Amino acid sequence: MVKDLYKSLLKKVNEGNHCIMLTYLNLHGDKNGSILEKVLLTSEDIEKKSASLSDDICEKIKLSSNSGKLQIFNVEDNKLLLIEPFMPKLRLIVFGGGHIAKPLVEFAARIGFSVTVVDDRPFFANSARFPEAEKVICESFENSFGLINFKKSDYVVIITRGHRYDGVVLREVLKYDFSYMGMIGSKRRVKGMREELLNEGFSKDKLDLLNAPIGLDIGGITPDEIAISIIAQLISYKNKGASFTFPEFDRDVLENICEESSLPKALITILSSKGSVPRKSGAKMIAYFDGRTLGSIGGGCSEASVILKAREVMRSKGFLIEHVDMTGEVAESEGMVCGGVMEVLVEVF
């Protein structure tokens, strides 16, 4: 069943897998038809060529994985293939649960990071203090490393309460490759730490990857300001690959798709967008036959019109591809400064 496939998707993404969902569509008209099949692949499946796919499809999968963007194209006469990339949240590991960590964790969770906090003090390492964190580890820094399965995609921030603890953590994280490493400290203290580690045999090239003093230089003084400077640097690293767009991932919507319902419901996905639109490709929402919704593809009259179309599809199942225009008079009527256009897929299983 399709719902079981989405359960498997959520499980695999939660385990840290990069996944691709293939949806084969059979056109009955210009923009509507039936859903033939859905196939879920992990990056490991793709590398091992577990599925029998043409070279053209493999190339499109690679393009989707490398760009973070959906791909939809004709594979045969009257048959379309949708390729959707699904990626786990980027993980931020924060060593130190002090005053800077509190706003840092809040801001990081808000921009989409899965946050793990590590501190050896029960008063600072608890879920009540860090409700936005997905994991809080109360353990000595030395013993905490075995509790974290480090990944190359991780972002690591070292903001412990003292020079000695910073050194303990830094000596460990320098053994790994990460997307980002940053450590707090004055220029003088950081310089001393670098010299100390160079004398111990740590690689200069590896130390040059360390962002220390941490954060963008915005003259931050308060814990909130320093946290903002760190967040700004994290964002700059996350978005520095201009050719890659981190795909939207509406977890609540996917969880709801997995649930049985007595009422028909439609899964609505933005296939592509141009111009100034509230949400980008990959964003999803659910519309129920009774008018209830979960999630959003941007709101306003344009979303309402798509929901009306979705109700029509719910009567017979299948899919519909709808063009949504939010430019010109449409954008003006919705009170938008500027508008854009979207292609939206409505699916009813």
Q: Tell whether the model's pLDDT for residue 95 goes beyond 90.
A: yes
- Residue 22: strand pairing partners: 39, 83
Could you read off the pLDDT of 12-48 as tens digits, one per residue?
A: 998 888 999 999 999 999 899 999 999 999 999 998 8
When pLDDT is averaged across residues 66-79 and rounded to a whole number, the result is: 91
**Pair (298, 334) in one structural domain:** yes
Q: Tell whether the model's pLDDT for residue 240 goes beyond 80.
A: no
Q: Tell whether the model's pLDDT for residue 331 goes beyond 70.
A: no
246 falls in which pLDDT band (50, 70, 90)?
A: confident
**Pair (214, 273) in one structural domain:** no
* The pLDDT value given to residue 337: 46
Nearest-CA neighbor of 341 among 256, 263, 280?
Answer: 280
334 falls in which pLDDT band (50, 70, 90)?
A: low
Looking at residue 209, its amino acid is L
**Pair (267, 192) in one structural domain:** no
Which sign, positive or negative, has the C-alpha torsion 197, 202, 208, 210? Answer: negative
Looking at residue 248, its amino acid is E
**Pair (76, 206) in one structural domain:** no
The answer, yes or no, to whether the previous bond of 213 is cis (omega within 30 of 0) is yes
Nearest-CA neighbor of 120 among 143, 152, 154, 86?
Answer: 143
Q: How far apart are CA 6 and CA 12, in angstroms?
A: 10
Nearest-CA neighbor of 14 among 42, 50, 46?
Answer: 42
**Pair (210, 330) in one structural domain:** no
**Pair (298, 258) in one structural domain:** yes
**Pair (71, 125) in one structural domain:** no
**Pair (173, 211) in one structural domain:** yes
Are 283 and 35 in contact by the 8 Å Cβ rule? The answer is no
Last residue of a domain, one of 238, 259, 281: 238
Last residue of a domain, one of 219, 238, 257: 238
* The pLDDT value given to residue 326: 74
**Pair (145, 78) in one structural domain:** no
Q: Which two tokens stand for residue 299?
A: 């709101």
The CATH number of the domain where 95 resides is what? 3.40.50.720
Looking at residue 90, its amino acid is L
Q: Tell whether the model's pLDDT for residue 289 goes beyond 70.
A: yes
Q: How far apart are CA 126 and CA 135, in angstroms?
A: 9
Q: Which two tokens stand for residue 61?
A: 């999968």
Q: How far apart are CA 168 and CA 187, in angstroms?
A: 19
* The pLDDT value given to residue 191: 94
Domain range for 68: 2-86+247-348
**Pair (123, 232) in one structural domain:** yes
Could you read off the pLDDT of 153-194 as tens digits, one per residue?
A: 899 999 999 989 999 999 999 999 999 999 999 999 999 999
Whole-prediction pTM: 0.76
Are 275 and 338 in contact by the 8 Å Cβ rule? The answer is yes
**Pair (158, 218) in one structural domain:** yes
Domain count, the chain: 2
Last residue of a domain, one of 238, 268, 291: 238
SS3 136: strand
**Pair (113, 75) in one structural domain:** no
